[in-house]
Structure 1
Amino acid sequence: MTSRVGTAVQRHITGLIAAAAALGMAATLTACGGGEGNDVTLKLVAADYGDSAANTSQKYWDGLTAAYEKDHPGIKIDVTVYPWTSVDAKVKKMVDSGHAPDMAQIGAYADYAAAGKLYPVSDLLNVPTQADFLSQLSDAGEVGQTQYGMPFAASTRLLFYNKKLFKAAGIEPPTNWSQLAADARALKRDGVEIPYALPLGPEEAQAETMIWMLSGGGSYTDDVGSYAIDSKQNIKTFDFLKDDLVGKGLTGPTAPGKLNRAAAFAAFAKGEVGMLNGHPTLMKTAAKKGVDYGTVELPGPDGPAKSTMGVADWMMAFKQNGHRKQIGDFLNYVYDEKNVLDFSREYNLLPVTTSASATMAATRSDAKLWPFLKTLPDAELYPGGKTSWASVSADVKQQIGSAVSSRGNPAAVLGRLQVAASAAESAE
């Protein structure tokens, strides 16, 4: 999602006056009528942001829906939470079998929007709620100039470093690539097992790839939104990774193409990693294990990177069951400032609304999130508005690790990815 400042939030909502009788004619999974005055059960499938049974997202949704149902007799919200490893597939299976949920909170929306299965956001939310989304996130939720994806949670990336290991090695956190490589060499000399963790394994290689592309002045796409995976900047970036980090033995015993993000984060929390790129949830994991960490802006070739990667997860509403009015009313409640803040604080994520962001920026107890919050306005997101992105992302996950292997050729690997991406884009 590469768009920056969108115009979607300026459009007025025009769809909330549709006849309630039309809602009553829609087929539903629950066999409940959709007209006003009838009991309605809305089905929501959501992703789990918790890291244990104690803070599973199911508890968040159970509390939120209980409060909502108390003030809305006749409306029931049935929420099922799945792990991130399966939630997208679960929703796809439901949709493909003709049993779409009313709402889904998952990782991508564009395929469903392109297939005509989603309500436009302007048909659901009132003007104040829609206008409260951060502008670059609203814009990133568009397909064909119409917003279908509602941002639900956001995060950005910073460089995490282990203060104890850095002090022992007598080094300071880096501001550019040569300093990063020098710090990694010093950490290795001091016996650190993984001076720099480079997770290019299939779990989330597309994220680490984009972080490094941005730090080198490139990205997945160019200024007009076309894929530019094999740009000169990106080739230079992966040449640096291959020659100056991986080739020098500075990324640990596991080949980057086999190292997943979860394993890299776990190793950092054990004190085995000197530095790595991370998102806000790593703070809680590291602190729980007693790791004294610091964060700095991502280093670039000659100084701090001009941009970092932002990630947004999405809420969407399916048209299949009707219930547009009831769905819209519930989602207006979901995006109330208090609820947005409660969720963001529970899971160390960034608010997706202007009002909640302003409150977080002014609240001292949220200070640990301020460095991430500061980078969000200029962060660049995946090109998720492209229906081709899912296949491009899958290709990156499978192939990018080979670019930095001992026999790897970054230009060749990036070139193959570019050819496949261009073909996928042409087929949109």
Structure 2
Amino acid sequence: MVQANRRSFLVAAGLLGLTAACGSNTGRGGSGSGTLEQWYHAYGEDGVHDAVDRYAAEYTAAKVNVQWNPGDYDSKVVTALQNSAVPDVFEAQVKVDWVRQKQVVPLDDLLGGTRDDFVKALLDSQTVDGQLYGIPQAIDTQVLFYRPSLLRAAGVTPPTTLPELVDAAKRLTGGGVRGLFAGNDAGVAVLTPPLLWSAGLDLLSPDGSAPGFDDPRAAAAFTAYRGLGDALLLGSPTDWSDPGAFVDGRVAMQWTGLWNLPKITAKHGDDVGVVPFPKFDDQGAVSVPVGAYSSMVNARSADVDAAKAFVKWLWVDKTDHQAEFATKFGAHLPARKSLTGATDGLATQVAGFVADSGRIASPARWSARANTALSDAVSRIVRQGADATTELKAAVEVARAEISRIGK
């Protein structure tokens, strides 16, 4: 879909690293006036604006103004944190530089006894130097959608390994239908982390002290993926984040977001299946990338305690609002395990994928420069046939320099 929505952070910030504002209830007071200013990016799902305005209006301990921010929201947040006490509360994914520069405040004390109820991977993604800086609001994830009827006709089963995915996509290609669509860049933007996870690797080492892809298995996985060749759809009018290629029958399988589930089932009914990204081999693992905007507090806020109290009320205490926010406006998943009962059908199946094999697509310590270097290398491997070992060696050096810059 062209409109911005809760998956936009995965399209841009979440998977690629890391303006004028308009909205409702804006232009009043500001931080220090007894009013809390809360920022969201420009959600596209019908009803979510009204719901969030309603949540703010229900809060009685302070006046809360909600501001919607179209355009480059992530850049606007970066600028605001450097120069302003506004917003007091905002949604984002924590970056290590914000912590180092003391632009955001720890929120561990807000969780109390609820910590174990939150999906651990989400809390880990918002943790830097052992402290939590964001309370997850909801989960966005991506899966491989497929048409069971088309797989049966081709004599293939849903793929569980990368070689099976390549074979299935080739056998499903024909008669004007391609086997797989993962984006007009051949899937480089969204599948680089899952391809590493499939080989048992990651962007960073477990302790974050080194690149996690300095291993021959990374080159082997990217080279194997390149074997899809003409089975990959390219040049689609819409990109991977929109279900158009799958809905319109141009592909038998598409890697896309769970947020598209309503449109997909509206078109194909029960002829829809989902699986995680396959493992490369038995030394690797299946995976689904997990991301979430989290509610954070600006360290420059004139009333940090009031801002933290609002975050606790909305994203820790008010479980009814949390369930509604996650499940009623497009297909998303709750950030808390106790709320998964609010999902149904394929969304519940995907919630199980997240619990079993969810992986954070954009760690706080993974910098934009390192990500660009790796993405460019993978693009040359997959799209231009470049030597994988040579390309990844150069990306490893950039990532190593960035890790050294960020420090422990």
**2:106 is the alignment partner of 1:120:** yes
**2:209 is the alignment partner of 1:222:** no
Q: How does 1:154-193 map to 2 (within 5 A)?
A: 154-192=139-177
How many residues were matched structurally? 373
- 1:266 maps to which of 244, 247, 256: 244
1:42-72 superposed Cα distances (whole Å, 9 cap, x missing partner): 1111124434xx34x322311211222xx44
CA distance in 2, matches of 1:252, 1:131: 42
- Paired residues of 1:142 and 1:148 also in contact (CA < 8 A): yes
Deviation at 1:398, TM superposition (A): 4.4
- Paired residues of 1:161 and 1:274 also in contact (CA < 8 A): yes
- 1:62 maps to which of 53, 63, 69: 53
- Paired residues of 2:211 and 2:399 also in contact (CA < 8 A): yes
- 1:45 maps to which of 33, 39, 59: 39
1:164-223 superposed Cα distances (whole Å, 9 cap, x missing partner): 43344343322223322222122113431x311133739x84432111221222221233
- Paired residues of 2:140 and 2:332 also in contact (CA < 8 A): yes
CA distance in 2, matches of 1:375, 1:167: 23
CA distance in 2, matches of 1:151, 1:79: 18
Q: How does 1:26-425 map to 2 (within 5 A)?
A: 31=29, 34=32, 40-51=34-45, 54-55=46-47, 57-68=48-59, 71-72=60-61, 75-83=62-70, 86-122=72-108, 125=110, 127-130=112-115, 132-192=117-177, 194-199=178-183, 201=185, 205-225=188-208, 226-242=210-226, 244-246=227-229, 249-254=230-235, 260-262=239-241, 265-290=243-268, 292-302=271-281, 305-335=285-315, 336-346=318-328, 347-357=330-340, 359-360=341-342, 366-377=344-355, 378-386=357-365, 388-425=366-403
CA distance in 1, matches of 2:184, 2:345: 30
1:307-361 superposed Cα distances (whole Å, 9 cap, x missing partner): 432223222100212322221221122122111111111232221123323x44x
User: Aligned residues: percent identity?
Assistant: 21
- Paired residues of 1:155 and 1:350 also in contact (CA < 8 A): yes
CA distance in 1, matches of 2:180, 2:333: 26
RMSD: 2.9
- Paired residues of 1:197 and 1:275 also in contact (CA < 8 A): yes
CA distance in 1, matches of 2:184, 2:404: 27
Deviation at 1:293, TM superposition (A): 1.8
Cα 1:301–1:139 change in 2 (3 A) is closer
SS in 1 for 2:185: coil
CA distance in 1, matches of 2:280, 2:385: 24
- With normalisation by structure 1, the TM-score equals 0.78
SS in 2 for 1:64: helix
- With normalisation by structure 2, the TM-score equals 0.81
Deviation at 1:415, TM superposition (A): 1.9
Deviates more, 1:410-419 or 1:91-100: 91-100
CA distance in 2, matches of 1:120, 1:76: 23
Cα 1:252–1:200 change in 2 (3 A) is closer
Deviation at 1:240, TM superposition (A): 0.3
Letter in 1 for 2:193: M
Larger radius of gyration: 1
